[in-house]
Amino acid sequence: MNDPFVIFWTVMILTSVVWYGFLLFYVGAKGAREIKQMTKTLESRSR
């Protein structure tokens, strides 16, 4: 377990799990707002 490559991959894999979990909520919330804004702009443009 003290092998530097094992430590590297442990950090990479566990960080990836946390990062994917974080993005679910962060991009989930912000992305929804951006879709709302985008549809508003497109709607006003077509009027």
Binding positions for another protein, rule: CB under 8 A: 1, 3, 5-6, 8-10, 12-13, 15-17, 19-21, 23-24, 26-28, 30-32, 34-35, 37-39, 41-43, 45-46
Beta strands in 1-47 (DSSP E): none
Token couple for 41? 């702009």
The three-class DSSP label of residue 39 is helix
**CA pair distance 17, 15, nearest whole angstrom:** 5
